[in-house]
């Protein structure tokens, strides 16, 4: 009887430890997004100047960059003069998406502007990161 109890106990322990535990095998696939501003910088700009907007969006975990948005708006009243890309879903599987465009600053002098860049995952707001650069337009 002792041998039977020992055998049942040994088989139970073996069966328990041999089970495939899904939670042990899953990877953390949560994006770790980061935004790298190359231009513009925060230096003053002049009315009529054309600025280059160059921004890299990256997932430090190497996953897909799903959505990005870049906009430029007046800091005082929120007036938006730039909002791209037209389709925010870029789905860049390499883990790095580079955005580049130009904008002519046909705005009033002595106004403050914000360039806002956002990146987020497949679902709206998932792992969302937002970075800004502010500059002043002078005459």
End-to-end CA gap in the chain: 97
Query: Thinking of the domain 33-138, which architecture would CATH place it in?
Result: Sandwich (2.60)
Q: What is the pLDDT of residues 30-74, one digit of tens each?
A: 899 999 999 999 999 999 999 999 999 999 999 999 999 999 999
- What pLDDT does 61 receive? 93
For residues 26 and 117, which has the higher predicted lDDT (pLDDT)? 117
What's the predicted TM-score (pTM) here? Answer: 0.78
- What pLDDT does 24 receive? 44
| DSSP one-letter code for 107 | S
| DSSP one-letter code for 49 | P
- What pLDDT does 2 receive? 67
> Radius of gyration of the chain from Cα atoms?
26
- What pLDDT does 17 receive? 54
- What pLDDT does 13 receive? 62
Q: What is the pLDDT of residues 79-118, one digit of tens each?
A: 999 999 999 999 999 999 999 999 999 999 999 999 999 9
- Per domain, the residue ranges of the chain are 33-138
Torsional class of 68: left (φ above 0), alpha (ψ -120 to 50), beta (otherwise): beta
């Amino acid at each position: 009887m002792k041998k039977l109890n020992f055998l049942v106990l040994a088989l139970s322990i073996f069966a328990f430890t041999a089970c495939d535990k899904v939670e042990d095998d899953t990877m953390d696939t949560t994006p770790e997004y980061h935004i790298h501003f190359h231009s513009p910088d925060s230096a003053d700009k002049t009315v009529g100047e054309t600025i280059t907007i160059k921004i890299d969006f990256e997932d430090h975990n190497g996953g897909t960059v799903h959505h990005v948005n870049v906009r430029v708006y007046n800091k005082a009243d929120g007036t938006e003069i730039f909002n791209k890309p037209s389709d925010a879903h870029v789905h860049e599987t390499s883990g790095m998406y580079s955005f580049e465009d130009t904008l002519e600053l046909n705005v009033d002098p002595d106004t403050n502007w914000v360039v806002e860049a956002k990146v987020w995952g497949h679902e709206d707001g998932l792992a969302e990161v937002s970075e800004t650069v502010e500059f002043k337009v002078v005459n």
